Amino acid sequence: MADAAPAALPEATPSNLARYYGQRLSWHSCDVPGFECATMKAPLDYAEPGAGDIDLAVARKKATEPSKRLGSLLVNPGGPGGSAIGYLQSYAGIGYPAEVRARYDMVAVDPRGVAGSEPVECLDGRRMDAYTQTDTTPDDERETEALVEAFRDFADSCARRSARLLGHVSTVEAARDMDVLRAALGDRRLTYVGASYGTFLGATYAGLYPRRVGRLVLDGAMDPSLSARRMNEDQTAGFETAFRSFAKDCVRHSDCPLGGRRASPERVGGNLKAFFRRLDASPLATDDPDGRELGEALATTGVIAAMYDESAWPRLREALASALREQDGSGLLRLSDSYYERDAEGGYANLMFANAAVNCLDLPAAFSSPDEVRKGLPAFEKASPVFGRGLAWASLNCAYWPVKASGAPRRIKAAGAAPILVVGTTRDPATPYAWARSLAAQLGSATLLTYDGDGHTAYGRGSDCVDSTVDRYLLQGRIPAKDKRCT
C-alpha cells in the first residue's frame, strides 16, 4: 500500500543551503555549437550539506526571441539514467516547436549519477557484454545460480567503483537539485517537460515544492503509488500490449516472419516465443567484430527496444526475418545494443548503471529471492506470455543491491500547485496508460491528456492534436478540456 507523500519542504531557503541557492552559474560554449554549458554544485547529502558537494552538468540554449522570453524550460527524457543534456542537444533544443524555443531558454541538467554529473560506474565493456548475455529465463538451479551471480557481480562492481554516490542518487535528491537549478537560473517557478521516468521526477518536485510549480508537462506518466513488483508487472503487461499491436501490423506485410495475414497475435507471439527457446539452446552468429552471438537474452532485449516506437517496427520485422530465415542475428543484436547504449567500440554509456542505482534506491526490491520470483511467475506470464518469464527474473536485480532503499511507494497530491498537464498513451509499452490516469487523479491540480496510439510518450511524436495542446499550455498556460483525447 502506498504511504502518504512526504510533506512539502519549507518555502524559505534553509540557511545551510543558502550557498547553493545563491550560486551563479559560469556559462561557456559547449562542444555542441549553439549551446552553453555550466557546472552547478549541490550537496551530496541534503541532510548534511557540509559533508561534501556533487558537481552537476547543466546546458542551455537561449531563447531565440529574448524580448518575448517567458523563462527557462527544463527538460528530462527519463530512464532513470538518460542524459538530459544529450536529449537537449540532440533533440529538444533543436526539435521542439520554434515558438517554444523562441520564448524559453531550453535547459537540461544531467541528474546526479548520470552522464556528465558524476556518473555511477559499474562494469567495464567486456564484463557488461557478459552481463547482457546472461540467461534471464533459467531452466534449472545451475542457470538460476548463474543469474544470481550476475546480479551480485553487477551490484558489487557498482559498490566498488561508485561507493560515494550510491546512497545519494534518489529521485527526491534529484528533484531537490532541480530546485537549486531553478534558483540559479533566476526563475521564480519551475517550467518543465519530463518524459517517462522524468514524470516521476517532475511529480516528486511538485510534491516537495508545490508553490514553485510553473507549467509542468508529465508525458508517459509513472505512478508513484506502486510497489516495484506491481510496477514491473504492469510494465510487463504494457510490453505485451505493444507487442500485440506490432503483431497485428506485422501480419499485414508479406515479409512478416512470424505469421501470415490470418495469424492472430497469439499465434505471432507463440512463434516468437518458440524462436526465443531455440536461441536459448543454439545462439545465432552475428557480424559483431567482438564475436558476440545472439542468444535469447539479447534477442528479447532487441524486440523490446523496438516496442518503444512504432517507427522501429519495419526494422524489427527485417531483423526477425534475417534471424529466422537466414540465421543471421546481427539486426536484433544492433537493436539490443541501441537499448543498452553500447557503442561500436564495445563501450557502454552509464544508462543501465544509473538506472539500477536510482531504481534500487527509490523502492524496495520487487523480489528478495529466486523462490519469490518462482511464486510470482504465473502473474508475470499471465501479463505477458511472450516476455513475462524473462521480465520477472530481471526484477530480481535489486535484491542484491549494496544500499538499502530509502524510498517507498507514495501518493503525491502536490496541494496548492498550479495546473499540471499529465499525458498518457493508450498502448504505451513502458509506462502503461493506467499509470497516467492514476497520477492525474493523485495530483490535485492535474488534467489528463490522452493519446490514443502506440509507442512510448506522445509529445513530439506525430500527433498534431497532442503537440498543439502541449504547446498552448507551455506558451499560454491553457489547460485542455477534461478527458481530452487525441489520435
Does residue 456 have an active-site annotation?
yes
Active-site residue identified among 179, 187, 428, 454 = 428
Looking only at the bridges linking them, the beta strands covering 71-76 and 53-61 are: unpaired
The per-residue b/e assignment along 269-290, b for 16 or more CB within 10 angstroms, e otherwise, is bbbbeebbeebbeebbebebee
Does residue 395 have an active-site annotation?
no
What's the chain look like in SS3? CCEECCCCCCCCCCHHHHHHHCCCCCCEECCCCCCEEEEEEEECCCCCHHHCEEEEEEEEECCCCHHHCCEEEEEECCCCCCCHHHHHHHHHHHHCCHHHHHHEEEEEECCCCCCCCCCCCCCCHHHHHHHHCCCCCCCCHHHHHHHHHHHHHHHHHHHHHHCCCCCCCCHHHHHHHHHHHHHHHCCCCEEEEEECHHHHHHHHHHHHCHHHEEEEEEECCCCCCCCHHHHHHHHHHHHHHHHHHHHHHHCCCCCCCCCCCCCCHHHHHHHHHHHHHHHHHCCECCCCCCCCCECHHHHHHHHHHHHCCHHHHHHHHHHHHHHHHHCCCHHHHHHHHHHHCECCCCCECCHHHHHHHHHHHHCCCCCCCHHHHHHHHHHHHHHCCCCHHHHHHHCCHHHHCCCCCCCCCEECCCCCCCCEEEEEEEECCCCCHHHHHHHHHHCCCEEEEEEEEECCCCCCCCCHHHHHHHHHHHHHCCCCCCCEEEC
Taking alpha carbons only, the member of 217, 335, 328, 351 closest to residue 279 is 328
Contacting residues for 297 by C-beta, under 8 A, at least 6 apart: 132, 133, 134, 135, 136, 390
The angle formed by the CA atoms of residues 392, 395 and 398, to the nearest 5 degrees, is 160
CB-CB contact of 207 with 5 (8 Å)? yes
Active-site residue identified among 219, 322, 362, 456 = 456
Rounded-to-integer distance, Cα 137 and Cα 126, Å? 22
Neighbour count for residue 70 (Cβ, 10 Å): 19
Does residue 135 have an active-site annotation?
no
Lookup: cell for 278: 531455440
Active-site residue identified among 72, 83, 117, 196 = 196
Active-site annotation, residues: 196, 428, 456
